[in-house]
Structure 1
Amino acid sequence: MIDAPETVLVDETRVSCVGEGGALGHPLVWYTIGLSGFVECKYCDRKFVLRGGPADRGPRGERGA
């Protein structure tokens, strides 16, 4: 079974990703979180969610979980 991509809560709208690092990583890439409140890495599908933003929902839909 394939694990779901990692979700990372962040406090800044500018984020970087290098994947798992080492041989399992990918080139350093930078993203800017827009109005959706999240961005997904194009290489590894890691999801960066802006804390307190529109995409910051807990498992039952509560804000700021």
Structure 2
Amino acid sequence: MPQQGPPPPEVIRIPTASIACDGSGEVSPALGHPRVYLRVDPALGFVECGYCDRRFVLAGGPADSQAA
């Protein structure tokens, strides 16, 4: 059963199971965090960044609420 807690600050749908996160986006990369490489857990369908708590959801995976 997934852990209950506050929702992630940002959810990003991704097309592949691997992603790099540096905390940038609306802020300059210089204000983000060190780049980390993350891999989606196939059973969960998502991975969360340990620095900025963004949740990366695999499109069409078990955690994708937009999947048809």
- TM-score above 0.5: yes
Aligned residue in 1 for 2:48 = 40
C-alpha separation between the residues in 2 aligned to 1:5 and 1:15? Answer: 17
Aligned residue in 2 for 1:31 = 38
C-alpha separation between the residues in 1 aligned to 2:23 and 2:54? Answer: 8
Deviation at 1:7, TM superposition (A): 0.6
Structure 1 residue 51 and structure 2 residue 59: aligned?
A: yes
TM-score when scaled to structure 1? 0.78
Identity in percent: 46
Aligned residue in 2 for 1:12 = 16
Opposite residue 12 of structure 1, the aligned amino acid is T
- Structure 1: gaps spanning 5 or more residues: 59-63
Q: In the comparison of the two structures, how many residue pairs are matched? A: 56
Across the aligned residues of Structure 1 and Structure 2, the Cα RMSD in angstroms comes to 1.4
More strand, by proportion: 1
TM-score when scaled to structure 2? 0.75
Aligned residue in 2 for 1:61 = none
C-alpha separation between the residues in 2 aligned to 1:22 and 1:53? Answer: 32
Moved over 6 A (4+): none
Deviation at 1:13, TM superposition (A): 0.2
